Amino acid sequence: MPFSRRQFAKLGVLTGMGALMDSSYHLVATPLAGELDRNQPGRKSDLVITNVEQFVVQVQDRGEEIRRGEVRRHFVYKISTNSGITGYSFGRSHPVENLPRVREILIGKDPFAVDQFIAEGLCQVGSWEHAVWDVVGKALEMPVHRLLGGAVRDKIRVYLTIVWPGKGDQSDVPFERQAEDIKFFQDKGFKGVKIRCWRPNIMDDVEALKEIRRVVGPDFPVMFDRTGQRAPWVWSYDEALKVARGMEEHGAYWLEEPFERENYTSSFRDLLPLEQSPSYQSIPRSAKLRKEVGLRITGGEGDNDTRLFAHYLAEDAFDILQPDVILAGGILVCKQISDMVRAFDKPIRMVPHGIHGLPLAGFLQVAAFSPTTHWQELVMTSPGMLPEETLAPGKRLLKNKDVFGIEDGYMSIPQGPGLGLEVDEAALDHYRVRPEKGSFAQ
């Protein structure tokens, strides 16, 4: 879809391209000297970031009963500009100690310099990168996905990561209950689920899969998440191979992060040399496991270095790459990873790591422009509770409460400017947590 006249005119005002258009908004010839003058290195656009602020909102009214699984707490990242355009993202928690560096990177700068911000370290606090894109999209009155290559789709199939209350390893949850709860979501139209495989007896999760298959049938996608070193202990290679073969036999869709990792850091320190990264050390085992089983092996949700994703592709480490759209560095970094997947020309996909609540806005922008993405994860989902119910409290912070609609297991992608959220600033102020010194927001 071409730019509208209004969008084209606004682009001219914001970027200094006004002299390229006549009064009818048609492109006209421009003297080369004038064009070069307008594009001198270091020239700022008329749009400038004037302030950044982070704070917490807790969406809860007095006396209100809270249901387990509802997303009520949001970390808010706000960018103000000289034009009155305000960018918001609802992201992951970044330490307040990072805020001085964020201010140094952003304040006084042209928000269109997203790649430069990433190079200067903003990739370590990706929630801010989302807020920058919200400013840019609002400035051009277009959704972010349109600015980064168009829309491959306007909705995305979602799968639900279910975590049962009780023990973290789920060993106190009967197989029959897992099967019944998954059947509940299948009956509601959802197309796939993911559950943990942390039980002390490594083959118990294979037994759970057998019961789940009996209830939901042979074709419903059931994924398993080992979550590497976040699990109670790290599998040996032989343990991973035994579990993977059992899951393959009973039709598991994928096994996620069977070995340790954890490259991501939310500080502004330098990245480890690539060969010292725990994730890098896991590549040979993941690649070997892929060759020995037909089950999909996935990973990458904690990584923050595009070099790692390039090595994953070069070494055939995973069938599916799973960068987190915040932890990996942001929306633009995920586009770079998606482009790498396409460049390697292999049957590999990029399925971003999940989140729930309002931060989904940035994740869905990636789903809209990435041709290698065919799922979006919603995490964590409480058994028996629909995602719409989980999202409901957060929508009190928005004017466009119809956003994140779900139909037949597909979630709609926001089409409004920027990230597509019409933030209700009065609601933000009402639910804002007034912090004590030294907390998340200052």
CATH code, 122: 3.30.390.10
Q: Could you report the per-residue pLDDT of 152-210, keeping only the tens digit for each?
A: 999 999 999 999 999 999 999 999 999 999 999 999 999 999 999 999 999 999 999 99
C-beta of residue 122 within 8 angstroms of C-beta of residue 128: yes
DSSP alpha helix (H) spans, 120-217: 126-140, 144-147, 175-187, 204-216
- Name the residue with higher pLDDT: 269 or 222: 222
Domain-located, residue 124? yes
CA distance 237 to 260: 11
Global pTM value: 0.87
Q: Average pLDDT in the 366-389 region?
A: 94
Closest among 350, 354, 352, 353 to 372, alpha carbons compared: 350
* DSSP string for residues in 402-435: TTT-EETTEEEPP-SSBTS--B-HHHHHHHB--P
pLDDT of 42 > 60? The answer is: no
CA distance 390 to 65: 14
Q: Average pLDDT in the 18-43 region?
A: 38
Q: Could you report the per-residue pLDDT of 142-154, keeping only the tens digit for each?
A: 999 999 998 899 9
Which pLDDT band, with edges at 50, 70 and 90, does 434 fall under? Answer: confident
Q: Which residues contact 241 (CB under 8 A, 6 or more apart)?
A: 289, 292, 293
Which pLDDT band, with edges at 50, 70 and 90, does 267 fall under? Answer: low
Closest among 252, 258, 256 to 182, alpha carbons compared: 252
Query: Six-digit token pair at 418?
Result: 């920027």
Q: Could you report the per-residue pLDDT of 80-119, keeping only the tens digit for each?
A: 999 999 999 999 999 999 999 999 999 999 999 999 999 9
Do 258 and 218 sit in the same domain of this protein?
yes
CA distance 45 to 356: 35
- The enclosing domain of 193 has a CATH number of 3.20.20.120
- Name the residue with higher pLDDT: 68 or 54: 54
Do 258 and 310 sit in the same domain of this protein?
yes
Do 288 and 412 sit in the same domain of this protein?
yes
pLDDT of 262 > 60? The answer is: no
Do 271 and 228 sit in the same domain of this protein?
yes
Q: Which residues contact 63 (CB under 8 A, 6 or more apart)?
A: none
Please tell me the predicted confidence (pLDDT) of residue 50: 98
Do 160 and 227 sit in the same domain of this protein?
yes
pLDDT of 304 > 60? The answer is: yes
Do 242 and 366 sit in the same domain of this protein?
yes
Which pLDDT band, with edges at 50, 70 and 90, does 65 fall under? Answer: confident
Q: Could you report the per-residue pLDDT of 4-13, keeping only the tens digit for each?
A: 545 444 444 4
Query: Six-digit token pair at 201?
Result: 């007896």
Beta bridge partners of 54: 77
Which pLDDT band, with edges at 50, 70 and 90, does 230 fall under? Answer: confident
- Residue found by looking up tokens 């994140």 in the block: 404
Do 30 and 127 sit in the same domain of this protein?
no
Domain-located, residue 366? yes
Total domains in the fold of the chain: 3
Domain-located, residue 440? no
Q: Could you report the per-residue pLDDT of 328-341, keeping only the tens digit for each?
A: 999 999 999 999 99
Domain-located, residue 149? no
Please tell me the predicted confidence (pLDDT) of residue 69: 87
Domain-located, residue 370? yes
Do 287 and 173 sit in the same domain of this protein?
yes
Do 305 and 383 sit in the same domain of this protein?
yes
pLDDT of 399 > 50? The answer is: yes
Please tell me the predicted confidence (pLDDT) of residue 40: 53
Do 201 and 101 sit in the same domain of this protein?
no
Burial class (CB in 10 A: 0-12, 13-18, 19+), 174: exposed
| Structural domain containing residue 34 | 5-38
Domain-located, residue 384? yes
Domain-located, residue 150? no
Which pLDDT band, with edges at 50, 70 and 90, does 404 fall under? Answer: very high
Please tell me the predicted confidence (pLDDT) of residue 268: 63
Which pLDDT band, with edges at 50, 70 and 90, does 34 fall under? Answer: very low
Q: Could you report the per-residue pLDDT of 387-396, keeping only the tens digit for each?
A: 999 999 999 9
Burial class (CB in 10 A: 0-12, 13-18, 19+), 215: middle
C-beta of residue 387 within 8 angstroms of C-beta of residue 378: yes
CA distance 102 to 79: 11
Mean per-residue pLDDT over the chain, rounded: 88
| Phi, psi for residue 143 in degrees, rounded to 5 | -70, 155
Domain-located, residue 439? no
Do 129 and 84 sit in the same domain of this protein?
yes
C-beta of residue 161 within 8 angstroms of C-beta of residue 377: yes
Query: Six-digit token pair at 269?
Result: 């320190």
Q: Average pLDDT in the 117-141 region?
A: 97
Do 10 and 110 sit in the same domain of this protein?
no
